[in-house]
Amino acid sequence: MLLYIWFRFQLQFGMGAIAAILHDVILTMGVLSLAQLEVSMTSIAALLTVIGYSMNEKVITFDRLRENLRKYKTTPLRDIINRSENERLSRNLITGTTAIIALSGALFFGGPVLFPLVFTMVFGVIVGTYSSIYVALPIILLWGVRRDDDEAAPLKAAGARPG
């Protein structure tokens, strides 16, 4: 996945995505442990689904950010990240809420066989949305990008100015 994000976007975006996905997996495994749910093939399938959902969230987040980096070349990175997130937030919340509503029926009426799968997926949707905003984007803000051409490139040193 790091190679895909690195190829599709850039290294700093890939590092942000990988850190956020590791965050999602660790938190989801921690919740499964706290809830004392058995880690079975079903919960592993749910965990892989969470990884896929989370990666999709990161790609959407980074794609909007990349578009705005090209559009607003002189705007500070912090403001571009804020603008990008505000532009996609309503779509993101609608998608996550719809997924949780769809999973709620199976969560409450699916019985003990489906509970670990659906519980893991519901938690994964919540934590995947959270990590897109509060883990992946701050890593990009800390790493920094330069926007002197069409593609954003990582800064060479902390405090270096573009151009």
Interaxial angle between packed helices 111-131 and 77-109, expressed in degrees from 0 to 180 and rounded to the nearest 10: 170
pLDDT at 154: 47
Interaxial angle between packed helices 41-71 and 77-109, expressed in degrees from 0 to 180 and rounded to the nearest 10: 150
Q: Exposed, middle or buried: residue 126 (CB in 10 Å: 0-12, 13-18, 19+)?
A: middle
Tell which residue, 113, 108, 102, 112, has the closest CA to residue 53.
102
Tell which residue, 139, 115, 120, has the closest CA to residue 17.
139
Among 11-25, 122-136, 143-157, which stretch is predicted with the lowest mean pLDDT? 143-157
In tens, the pLDDT along 33-67 reads 999 988 889 889 999 999 999 999 888 998 999 89
Is the per-residue pLDDT at 137 higher than 60? yes
Tell which residue, 127, 111, 112, 115, has the closest CA to residue 50.
127
Query: What would you report as the CA-atom Rg of the chain, rounded to the nearest whole angstrom?
Result: 18
Buried b (16+ CB within 10 A) or exposed e, 17-35: bbebbebbbebbeebbeee
* Mean pLDDT in residue range 122-150: 84
How does DSSP assign 103-133, residue by residue? HHHHHHHSHHHHHHHHHHHHHHHHHHHHHII
pLDDT at 32: 92
Among 43-52, 63-72, 85-94, 144-153, which stretch is predicted with the lowest mean pLDDT? 144-153
Cα(138)–Cα(4) distance, rounded to whole angstroms?
20
Q: Dihedrals φ, ψ of 154, to 5°?
A: -65, 145
